[in-house]
Amino acid sequence: MLPCEFFKIEPKQDSTVSLYKKERDCETQYLSVDKSSALLYPSFMDPLTPTLSLPQQQIVDSPLGIKLFVRGKAGTGKTTTGVERMRQLLAQGIPADSILMLTPQRTLQEPYLDLLYSPERSAGGEVTSATIGGLAKRMCDLFWPIAAEASGFKNPQLPPTFLTLETAQYYMAHLVRPLIEEQGYFQSLTINRNRLYSQIIDNLNKAAVIGFPHTEIQARLDSAWFGDPSQRRIYADGQECASLFRTFCLEHNLLDFSLQLEVFANILWPHPQVREYLSSQYQHLIYDNVEEDVPRAHDILREWMDNFQSALLIHDNDAGYRNFLGGDAASGAALSELCDQVISFDESFVSSNPILELSDGLVSAILSSERQSPSTSEERGFEILSARFYPEMLDQVTEKILQSIDDGIPPSEIVILAPYLSDALRFSITNRLGEKEIPWRTHRPSRSLRDETASQTLLTLSALAHPHWNVHPNKYDVAHTLMFALNTDLVRAQLLTDIVYRQKDIKLSTFEEIKPEMQERITYALGERYTNLRMWLMNYREDNPLPLDFYLRKLFGEVISQPDYGFHENMDAVRVAASLIESIKKFRNAMEPSTPNLSGFDLGKEYLTMLADGVIAAQYLESWRSENKDAVLVAPAYSFLMMNRPATIQFWIDPGSSGWVERLSQPLTHPYVLSRQWEQGQLWMDSDEVAAETESLARLVGGLLSRCKEKIILALADLGEAGFEGRGVLLRAFQKVLQQDQI
């Protein structure tokens, strides 16, 4: 094990702060600095860069031949240090293309991309910002001749087709649907088809990121099961479907995420030519949120570390929010053994003292039944809004937000969090915010594109423009489409639809054919917008049809984004439209190589059908990048955590709900059993489930509070969203904290 250095800030009674404790070869030295010098000037490279503490500045200015491991809770300045370290490397003349920046998922790269895309950047190469999956895809593409032959692809002379989550679900549905409908697979399950397909894909992904053969999925799940024997049949069906999908991919040169990672880790990474390419290409590494990444990524970095000239690894203590996706905080923490220095950040630059005390008390209350010490702060870190009924509670939340904004808190510093953001809650809270003219934005990764009003509008207009698809939208869908696209109310849109639309023939009659008295009711302004849209659709029908994504770009640019139309100033709708077009483009790129000669097969119609069935349900990076960032964020709690940003005020909706602690039912997979931390063959008991839920809730609460600056506001209703009284673990923990404060 390499010698390590530990940096730690510990307040003393006098005017000094023990800056760090240095341990090397069993020798201990203590260094102290005056408190007045604990915070330094802004970085000398740019007057706009943030003020850094002395430990942060020392890391930024550390020599190039050193490898550092920085750990600490959220809000202690770790990512800021990483960004400034990258800025320093570039300022010293390090070639940008020799720097590799890794994160577990792309959304965590935002602070680094802000630097890389800023005007201050000098011309030259580009820093490689990637995930382990993205790196695997690049290597599979670049070294395909090596990968194809060794992996057993049937046609190694042909190029590969990389699948997205959507196209993987499409092919999975193509293979599994006949087994369900004709052979009775998964008879005892009542879940939606898209969830079934995605859980089979998730099992393949788990096998790849953990590092065991996909043929062992059933055995691992079965060995831990203790319950109804029929569940074993489900595991067997899932294993057969996963193996069938893998065989299909090898026969048609298709690479989903699991196959990309397996090919990279098992074949390309050990290959001398590939390793030499990567080692010569990248000399400097910045790896943020290592605790959220998968163990196979940690394995590769463990072997790769000696080849880097410098490295900065950043670990968030008490995190591990992506364990349901295969993240392994334990193997991430073990990478510290490979670094020259291990540095601990303990001082929060985000949370106030009341919030820090609340975090300690609440986490302790969740994990232990022992009595906790009362708070020593004069202020409490939380406030309670209570009401008898759920709608009344949402009204109080809206009024409190309006009051906070009037008090000078920007909308961007306010977040509304719930364990799950249902459609009903999303509509209820955003409708109230809109009525008060409070800007808002939402993010829910699990929300399908088909559920977005903007995408429903675009897809209905697509069906109207392609009558040869023989897709007949009903009058309800057409009315809502005209309401949104033409920027009008539902009454006029419904009236217009009843007059002009013929569902059987997919025909739209002209506005001039409507009786004059009805034209006046509809209004001539709306009639003009309708006429322009109809003429555009009729003209398009007369030309050769375009690929669906081309058609939508043309429709968007020439009609519905123009002034007075629904997409003109609606940035949320524009974001959804961009995600939909990107989704269709990737679907077309993945499907075209395998369907070039199929007569009568229309990719646009196929996409529309699959989306309607709920098979395709992925969102895209645009959903994390809102044009209107000065807005109240409404999101699930875990989604907010993965945004890795602080907020001044957090509203926790219905803390009495069991949703804060219970994980989603996944009958085909198991995130804890399919992990390296679970001993194969050990039974998963109810006690394991309770322990896992408790630990998960403690991590969630600690993560949320470490990203809160001033106050948590609990929004309670005697009767929750489902109409029942909530008595969940989180609410009981708050009650313990309140009882201690009253002692």
CATH superfamily of 6-137+271-345: P-loop containing nucleotide triphosphate hydrolases (3.40.50.300)
Q: How confident is the model at residue 595 (pLDDT cuts 50, 70, 90)?
A: low
Six-digit token string for 490? 């539902």
Q: How confident is the model at residue 4 (pLDDT cuts 50, 70, 90)?
A: very low
| Radius of gyration of the chain from its Cα atoms, rounded to whole angstroms | 28
What is d(CA 89, CA 101) in angstroms, rounded to the nearest whole number? 12
Amino acid at 165: L
What angle, 0 to 180 degrees and rounded to 10, lies between the N-to-C axes of helices 475-485 and 453-465?
110
Q: How confident is the model at residue 442 (pLDDT cuts 50, 70, 90)?
A: confident
CB 538 within 8 A of CB 544: no
pLDDT at 12 over 60: no
How many angstroms separate the Cα of 497 from the Cα of each of 445, 470, 513, 525, 571?
Answer: 33, 19, 13, 16, 26
How many other C-beta atoms lie within 10 A of the C-beta of residue 159?
11
pLDDT at 27 over 80: no
Q: Find the mean pLDDT for residues 556-584.
A: 88
What is d(CA 671, CA 692) in angstroms, rounded to the nearest whole number? 11
Instruction: Quote the pTM value.
Output: 0.84
- The whole-number pLDDT of residue 731 equals 87
For 285-372, where are the alpha helices, taking DSSP H only?
295-304, 329-333, 353-367
State whether residue 567 is helix, strand or coil: coil
- The whole-number pLDDT of residue 483 equals 94
- Bridge partners of residue 343, in order along the sequence: 70
pLDDT at 709 over 60: yes
Produce one character per residue of 471-487: b if its CB has 16 or more CB atoms within 10 Å, e if not: bebeeebbbbbbbbbbb
Q: Say which residue the tokens 């024997």 belong to.
A: 229
Please say whether the dihedral angle defined by the alpha carbons of residues 427, 429, 431 and 433, taken in this order, is positive or negative. negative
Q: How confident is the model at residue 270 (pLDDT cuts 50, 70, 90)?
A: very high
Q: Find the mean pLDDT for residues 356-381.
A: 74
pLDDT digits (tens, 9 = 90+) for 495-509: 999 999 999 989 999
Six-digit token string for 735? 């009650």
What is d(CA 61, CA 89) in angstroms, rounded to the nearest whole number? 9
What is d(CA 434, CA 440) in angstroms, rounded to the nearest whole number? 8
pLDDT at 540 over 90: yes
Q: How confident is the model at residue 554 (pLDDT cuts 50, 70, 90)?
A: very high
What region, left, alpha or beta, does residue 499 occupy, with left being phi > 0 and alpha being psi -120 to 50 degrees?
Answer: alpha
State whether residue 14 is helix, strand or coil: coil
Q: How confident is the model at residue 284 (pLDDT cuts 50, 70, 90)?
A: very high
**Residues ≥6 apart with Cβ < 8 Å to 164:** 583, 586, 587, 590, 618
pLDDT mean across residues, the chain: 85
What is d(CA 74, CA 734) in angstroms, rounded to the nearest whole number? 22
What is d(CA 241, CA 237) in angstroms, rounded to the nearest whole number? 6
Six-digit token string for 483? 């309401």
What is d(CA 222, CA 533) in angstroms, rounded to the nearest whole number? 57
What is d(CA 721, CA 683) in angstroms, rounded to the nearest whole number? 35
CB 701 within 8 A of CB 730: yes
Six-digit token string for 249? 């991919």
pLDDT at 395 over 90: yes
φ, ψ for residue 16 (rounded to 5)?
Answer: -115, 165
**Residues ≥6 apart with Cβ < 8 Å to 272:** none
Amino acid at 224: A
How many other C-beta atoms lie within 10 A of the C-beta of residue 496?
27
Six-digit token string for 468? 């040869």
* Three-point CA angle 195, 201, 207, nearest 5°: 135
In the sheet with 16-24, reading across from the earlier edge strand, the strands are 6-11, 16-24, 27-34
CB 304 within 8 A of CB 279: yes
State whether residue 275 is helix, strand or coil: helix
Six-digit token string for 649? 């005020």
Please, is 493 exposed, middle or buried when counting C-beta atoms within 10 Å of its C-beta (0-12, 13-18, 19+)?
Answer: buried
Paired sense of beta strands 507-508 and 501-502, if any: antiparallel
What region, left, alpha or beta, does residue 208 occupy, with left being phi > 0 and alpha being psi -120 to 50 degrees?
Answer: alpha
Beta strands in 62-176 (DSSP E): 67-72, 99-102, 128-130, 161-162
What is d(CA 152, CA 470) in angstroms, rounded to the nearest whole number? 41
pLDDT digits (tens, 9 = 90+) for 723-733: 667 677 888 88
Beta strands in 203-348 (DSSP E): 254-255, 284-287, 310-316, 341-345
Q: How far is CA 245 from the centre of its chain?
A: 25
- Bridge partners of residue 633, in order along the sequence: 415, 441
State whether residue 622 is helix, strand or coil: helix
Six-digit token string for 54? 């002395």
The conformation of residue 107, written as its DSSP 8-state character, comes to G
pLDDT digits (tens, 9 = 90+) for 81-138: 999 999 999 989 899 999 999 999 988 898 999 888 887 766 667 899 999 999 999 9
Break the chain down into helix, strand, coil percent, rounded to 5: 55, 15, 35
Paired sense of beta strands 647-653 and 440-442, if any: unpaired
Q: Do domains 6-137+271-345 and 353-446+626-741 have the same CATH topology?
A: yes
What is d(CA 128, CA 285) in angstroms, rounded to the nearest whole number? 10
Domain limits, the chain:
6-137+271-345, 156-258, 353-446+626-741, 449-613
CATH superfamily of 353-446+626-741: P-loop containing nucleotide triphosphate hydrolases (3.40.50.300)
Please, is 494 exposed, middle or buried when counting C-beta atoms within 10 Å of its C-beta (0-12, 13-18, 19+)?
Answer: middle
Percent of the chain topping pLDDT 90: 55
- Bridge partners of residue 345, in order along the sequence: 72
What is d(CA 207, CA 218) in angstroms, rounded to the nearest whole number? 11
pLDDT at 446 over 70: no
